[in-house]
Chains A and B, each alone.
Chain A
C-alpha cells in the first residue's frame, strides 16, 4: 500500500516547455524591473518578445511529438491542436506587447508590470489550450483572467478602473459556475481527466443527469469567457474601458484560448453526449450572432462597436462547433486565426487614430479619415471587410468554411441565421467606411504617425489578405491539427 506512494508520475517537461519558457521570461522581466526601476521599457519589450519567440520554437518542436498522448499524470495533452492554438496565441501576445509599449509610452502611463502580466496571461492561455484535466483548465483560466482584470485597470482612467471592476465581479461569478461544473463532472464520473470522463460516459458508468448539468455549468463558464449571448454583458464596457492594446490582446487572446479549451472539453470529455449538447450550442450560436450583429448597429463608439462585433464572431465559431468532428474543429481554428488577425488589426488602427490615450474613439472621429491618413483608412477598410466576411479577405474564407461545415452536419437553418446576421453586420462595417471616405473631417486632429506601430498594424493586414487569397497555406496545417488525440 505504501510502496505505491513512493512512485511519482514520470516527469516529461517537454510538452509544457512553452509555458515554462513564458513563465520563466515573465519572472525575469518582473524581477528585473523590480530590482532596477530605471530599466528601459524597450529592454523589457525585447526580453518579453524573445521569450515569446522561444516559446514558439519549443511549440513547433512539439509538432512531431512521438511520445504519450498526455503527460504529467494525464494533465497535458501533446496533440497538434495544442501546438497550433499555442502558436496563434503567442502571435497575439507579441502584437499586444508591441502595441502596449507604444501606447503606454505615448499616454505616459507606462508601467513595467504590463510586460510580465501579458506574459503570465499568455502562459495561462497556452496552458488552457493544452490542458487535459478540468482542474488545470480552471487554473489556467484563472491565471489568464486575473492577469486581464489587472491589465484592464492598469490605466488610471475612471472607465478603465470601472471596466476592470465589472470584469472582475462578473468573471469571478462565472468562474464559480465553471468550478461547480467541474465538481459535477467529477461527481458524475469520478474523475476530472478529460479522457477518463469520456470513458465513463461512453461506458455509461457515470451519472447522466449530473454529466448534463456539468455540461451546462461548464458552458456558462466558457460562454462568459468567449462572450456568447446571454453571458456577454461585460464585453462592451470592458473593451471600451481597457487601454486599446489590452483590448486588442484580450479580444483576440481570450477568445482563441477559451474556444480551444471549449473545443477540447466538448470534443473529448463530452463527446459521448454530442447529441445532447449540440442543441445547446446551436441555440446559443443563433442568439449570439443575431444579438451581437443587431446591437452593434446602435453603437456610436468604435470600441463598443467592435466589442459587439466580437460577440457576433463568437457566435460564428459556435456555429462551427455544432458540426462536431474534424471538419468543425478545422473550420473553428481557421475562424479563430482570421478573427485574431482582423481584431488585432482593427484595434491597432483604433489605437493609432486616437493618437494618445483614448481621446478619439467615437465614430464621428472617423469622418474623413481618408483625407488625414490614407494608410490608416486603407488598413481599417481591409479589416472591416474581413470582419464583414467580404472577399478577398481571410474573414470571407473563414465564414465559408464554417457555413460549409455546419451545412454538412445538417444545420442549414443555423447557417441561414448566420448568413442573415452577416448581412446585417455588413451594414455597420460599411457605415464606418462611408464615414471615412465620403464625409468631411470634423476635426483636423492628426492620427499617430509613428512608423513602427504602422508596420506592426500592417502585419495582420498582410496576413489577412494572404490567408484570404491563398487559404491553402494554412488550411493543410489546421486540418492536421484538428484531430484531438486522447
Chain B
C-alpha cells in the first residue's frame, strides 16, 4: 500500500467518527470540539490529495478562525441553553430524509456516469501543480483571476459593515432594555 493510502485509511475512520459524534452531541461545546477534530482530518485529506494550500487554509481559517467564531456564538447564546428538538412542521423530517437520499443518489449517479467520459489528466499532481501547489495557485489567482481576487476585498468590507450594523444595534437595544428594567 502506498503511504498516502495508509494515511487515508488511518484518518478516514477518525473523520467519519468525529462527524457522527458531532451530530449526536447534546452539549454544543462538545460538538464544536468534535468539529475541530473533523476539520483536522479534512486538512490531512487535502494534503494527501496534493493540495497543501488548502491544508493551510483549512487549519488557519476553519480550525482556527471559524471555530473561534463558533465558540463565541455558543457563549453568546449561553452554554447551558438546551434547544427544543420538537419539530414545528410535521412530516418535515421524513420528507427531508427521502429528498436528501434522492439528491445523494442523483449526485452519485451523475459522478459515476461522468467518470467514464472524463478526459482530465490522470497525473493531476504533475500537470496542475507545476512548481508546487501554492506557486501554481498564485499564478492562477493573481493572473487569470485577479479581478475576483480584488472583488473579494469588497466582500470583506461588506462583511465588516454587517458585523458592525447587526451587533452595535442589538447592543443598544439591550442597554435600553436594561435601563427600562431598572426603572
The chain A residues found within 8 Å of chain B, CB to CB, are 1, 5, 8-9, 16, 23, 27, 30, 72-76, 111, 113, 116-117, 120, 123-124, 127, 133, 135-136, 139-140, 142-143, 146-147, 149-150, 153-154, 156, 164, 187-188, 190, 205, 207-210, 212-213
A120 & B154 in contact (Cβ 8 Å cutoff): yes
Residues of B within 8 A of A116 (CB): 161
With A120-B157, A146-B158, A209-B110 already in contact, the answer to whether A73 and B139 are too (CB < 8 A) is no
Given contacts A8-B143, A74-B144, 5 further A-B contacts (CB under 8 A): A30-B157, A73-B144, A140-B151, A142-B155, A149-B162
B145 & A113 in contact (Cβ 8 Å cutoff): no
Query: Which B139-183 residues have a C-beta within 8 angstroms of A?
Result: 139, 143-148, 151-152, 154-155, 157-159, 161-162, 164-166, 169-170, 173
B143 & A5 in contact (Cβ 8 Å cutoff): yes
CA distance A164 to B162 in the complex (A): 11
Contact partner, B155, options A1, A27, A74, A139, Cβ 8 Å: A139
Residues of B within 8 A of A127 (CB): 151
CA distance A136 to B152 in the complex (A): 10
Contact partner, B114, options A16, A30, A207, Cβ 8 Å: A207
Interface of chain B, main secondary structure: helix
A113 & B164 in contact (Cβ 8 Å cutoff): yes
A113 & B165 in contact (Cβ 8 Å cutoff): yes
Min Cβ gap B109→A in Å is 8
B166 & A30 in contact (Cβ 8 Å cutoff): no
CA distance A442 to B152 in the complex (A): 51
Residues of B within 8 A of A142 (CB): 155
B173 & A72 in contact (Cβ 8 Å cutoff): no
CA distance A113 to B160 in the complex (A): 11
Min Cβ gap A4→B in Å is 9
Q: Is B117 an interface residue (CB 8 A)?
A: yes
B side interface size, CB within 8 A: 33
Q: Is B120 an interface residue (CB 8 A)?
A: yes
The chain B residues found within 8 Å of chain A, CB to CB, are 106-107, 110-111, 113-114, 117-120, 130, 139, 143-148, 151-152, 154-155, 157-159, 161-162, 164-166, 169-170, 173
With A73-B144, A209-B117 already in contact, the answer to whether A156 and B162 are too (CB < 8 A) is no
B114 & A143 in contact (Cβ 8 Å cutoff): no
A210 & B114 in contact (Cβ 8 Å cutoff): yes
A146 & B159 in contact (Cβ 8 Å cutoff): yes
Q: Which of A16, A27, A117, A139 has the most CB of B within 10 A?
A: A139
CA distance A117 to B118 in the complex (A): 43
With A9-B146, A146-B162 already in contact, the answer to whether A209 and B155 are too (CB < 8 A) is no
Q: Which of B107, B114, B152, B169 has the most CB of A within 10 A?
A: B114
Residues of B within 8 A of A111 (CB): 165, 169
CA distance A187 to B115 in the complex (A): 10
Min Cβ gap B21→A in Å is 23
CA distance A363 to B8 in the complex (A): 62
CA distance A449 to B89 in the complex (A): 43
